[in-house]
Amino acid sequence: MSDKRGQCISGGEILLEQLLIQGVDTIFGYPGGAIMPAYDCLYDYLDRLRHILVRHEQGAIHAAQGYARTKGVPGFVMVTSGPGATNVITGVADAMIDSTPVVVVAGQVSSTLLGSDAFQETDLIGMTTPVTKWSYQIRRPEDVAWAVARAFYIAGSGRPGPVVLDFTRDAQIGKAEFEPRSCDFIRSYIALPEPSDEAIRQAAEWINAARKPLVVYGQGIILSGAEQALEAFLDKADIPAGSTLLGLSALASDNPHFMGMLGMHGNLAPNIMTQECDLLIAVGMRFDDRVTGNLSTYARNAKIIHIDIDPSEIGKNVPAGLGILGDAKEVLTRLTARIQPRSCPDWAMEPILCNAVEKHKVIDPEIHPESGPLNPGEVIAAVSDRCRGEAVILTDVGQNQMLAARYSRFTRSRSFISSGGLGTMGFGLPAAIGAKIAAPERTVIAFLGDGGIQMTLQELGTIMQEGTGVKIVLLNNNWLGNVRMWQELFFRERYSCTRMLNPDFRGIAEAYGIPCVNVESRDELGPAIERMLAGDGPFILNAHIREESMVFPMIPPGKSVDQIMLNAQDWFEYGD
């Protein structure tokens, strides 16, 4: 227990004491005027609180997100007011839509100056309210411990999300008696809704009666720690399952029930099976438009059971015949007890047919090309194979992301971290720093494009200073690849503003003291991966990939999930 209990200490010090009580060990941050009193207190706590000095506040929040998603605890960010605070907003919005627990403390001008347009004053609460689970301005040292305890409870419980605390300078300096606080109850907020027995009984009945049931799951499985519960459920009822982008790694890639990824660039099998199933069981996912395609035809033959912890998700996009409100692990465990053991022979054909076509038409040409320039998928598959599916895979946004999702193998949960809902370019590099700090014993690979890496390139400085052993695989073709692909397919090859003149990345790496190797041909790839993984330190593998790289299969925007392009010419025709 803290020896500061009962003492009169400054608000800044109360913050740090309460952070220790919350179990925080790492602060991702950047100091500045309005947060300086708290940083001054931190000087005496650096033996207990590791501070990672990022190079831009956006890097701090993405690193905290990577940390939170790897470790399963809230990430913590400390920045100054004004620009320091506005620079974290992209990451706060990202954490909101991807349900990532992070707590941000931002400095604020003294309460006496609020509303006076003081230097570096900005209405942070006003700006972050729509993209936070909770935001609160701390104006008195007496409120610090309470607000921090409440912030961590809200961020980490129920459907997790970001919390912003706007901490005025005078509340950091002023003193109050420190009384450690804990928070596990707020009367207006139900973190864990109690699933209805009746709904579970009804769901079990539907599952027992279904001929072709399909599970579609999302990150809710990981957030709830329901990986084993899901596996047991699928085993008992012999139900195949497809994952959303953020659900990846909740089931091992070689799990016999795992059909692959859903949605726009997902695998054929789970998308086709969505249209063929007579019962769709959605768990901890929110029917994002990238998953559902055209909503009016989505799962058109199926009754739908939607299991989610957030009442506002049930029925939001897809009308659920049956909604079950509750924690995924609890609901799945109770459902498993209720259902009959069985097998689903009616599903025999779909996966075999779909997988054969996908392998022949898409996967083999992408990862085993006979000649020509390197394909991005080929690089990803080679790295993933070499890591035997044990690495934490981070991505940026775009083709690198979709291909990393498609061609990475996973053997354990919390191994795929990507900006899903917001699609934040620049996420990958700083998030990888946070992931490596959260799990130093694991190999952390960041697949980045040449566009995304340059949005937060300055974080190479953080890697240099901290010696963070992030392995960066740069899929470099001097194009904004995903936009270029859309221009080719949907904008009559009018390549508007997508060609990039890039710097010498090896020269940049060298300036930061990070080893880097350029890979230009197939022969160089294997040895470069070996070299990258040989040491514990950071590394950049700069892979020169095919300029006109594409990501297939693709469900074009607005199409149904069974209207799938296999390449620029061919459409998948199931059942013909």
Q: Are 542 and 476 in contact (CB under 8 A)?
A: yes
- State CA 370 to chain mean position distance: 34
Nearer to other proteins, 223 or 480 (CB): 223
Least separation in angstroms between CB 366 and other proteins: 39
Structural contact between residues 218 and 246, judged by C-beta atoms closer than 8 angstroms = yes
Say whether residue 137 binds other proteins (CB under 8 A): yes
Omega within 30 of 0 (cis) for the link into 553: yes
| Cβ-based nearer residue to other proteins, 181 or 316 | 316
* C-alpha torsion sign, points 249, 254, 258, 263: positive
* Nearest distance in Å: CB 550, other proteins: 35
> Where are any strands of DSSP class E within 158-302?
162-168, 175-177, 213-217, 241-243, 258-261, 279-283
Distances (CA, A) of 432 to 64, 85, 377, 393, 468: 10, 22, 20, 8, 9
Q: Kindly state whether residue 133 participates in binding other proteins, applying the rule CB under 8 A.
A: yes
Pull the structure tokens for residue 573.
């025709």
Name which of 116 and 340 has its Cβ closer to other proteins. Answer: 116
Distance, in Å, from the CA atom of 459 to the CA atom of 148, rounded to the nearest integer, reads 28
Does residue 125 touch other proteins according to CB under 8 A?
A: yes
Options 102-110, 134-142, 222-230, 496-504: segment touching other proteins (CB under 8 A): 134-142
Instruction: For the chain, give the number of residues.
Output: 576
The owner of tokens 């013909």 is 576
Rounded distance between C-alpha atoms, residue 571 and residue 102, angstroms = 42
d(CA 551, CA 362): 9
Residue 311 contacts other proteins per CB under 8 A: yes
Q: Minimum Å distance from CB 313 to other proteins?
A: 9
Distance in Å, CB of 323 to other proteins, minimum: 11
- For position 129 contacting other proteins by CB under 8 A, the verdict is yes
Q: Under the criterion CB under 8 A, does residue 296 sit at the interface with other proteins?
A: no
Q: Which residue from 76, 134, 233, 410 is in contact with other proteins, where contact means CB under 8 A?
A: 134
Cα–Cα distance, 239 to 335 (Å, whole number): 13
For the purposes of burial, counting CB atoms within 10 Å of the CB of 401, is it exposed (0-12), middle (13-18) or buried (19 or more)?
Answer: buried
492 binds other proteins (CB under 8 A): no
Shortest separation between residue 114's beta carbon and other proteins, angstroms: 12
Name the residue nearer to other proteins (CB basis): 171 or 264. Answer: 171
| Residue range at the interface with other proteins (CB under 8 A); choices 49-57, 132-140, 285-293, 509-517 | 132-140
Backbone angles phi, psi at 473, to 5 degrees: -110, 110
Site string for other proteins, 152-171 (x = CB under 8 A): --x-----------------
- Residue 106 CB, shortest distance to other proteins, in Å, is 15
| Interface with other proteins, residue 341, by CB under 8 A | no
- Listed ranges 126-134, 298-306, 514-522, 526-534: which one lies at the site for other proteins (CB under 8 A): 126-134
Answer yes or no whether residue 310 interacts with other proteins by CB under 8 A.
yes
Residues 71-110 that bind other proteins (CB under 8 A): none
Parallel, antiparallel, or unpaired: how do β-strands 26-29 and 75-79 relate?
parallel
> Which residue number, 146 or 574, has a Cβ lying nearer to other proteins?
146
Q: Which stretch binds other proteins (CB under 8 A): 260-268, 294-302, 304-312, 485-493?
A: 304-312
The answer to whether residues 366 and 378 touch, using CB atoms and an 8 Å cutoff, is yes
User: Per-residue x/- marks for other proteins, 181-200, CB under 8 A?
Assistant: ----xxxxxx----------
Contacts with 423 (C-beta within 8 Å, 6 or more apart), sequence order = 397
- The residue from 312, 371, 521, 569 that contacts other proteins (CB under 8 A) is 312
Query: Quick one: which segment of 135-143, 209-217, 221-229, 432-440 binds other proteins (CB under 8 A)?
Result: 135-143
Q: Does 316 contact other proteins by CB under 8 A?
A: yes
- C-alpha–C-alpha distance, residues 284 and 359, integer Å: 29
- Let me know how many helices (H) and strands (E) the chain has, helices first: 24, 20
The answer to the question of residue 135 lying near other proteins (CB under 8 A) is yes
**Beta carbon of residue 191, minimum distance to other proteins (angstroms, whole number):** 10
Residue numbers at the binding site for other proteins (CB under 8 A): 125-126, 129-130, 133-137, 154, 185-190, 310-312, 315-316
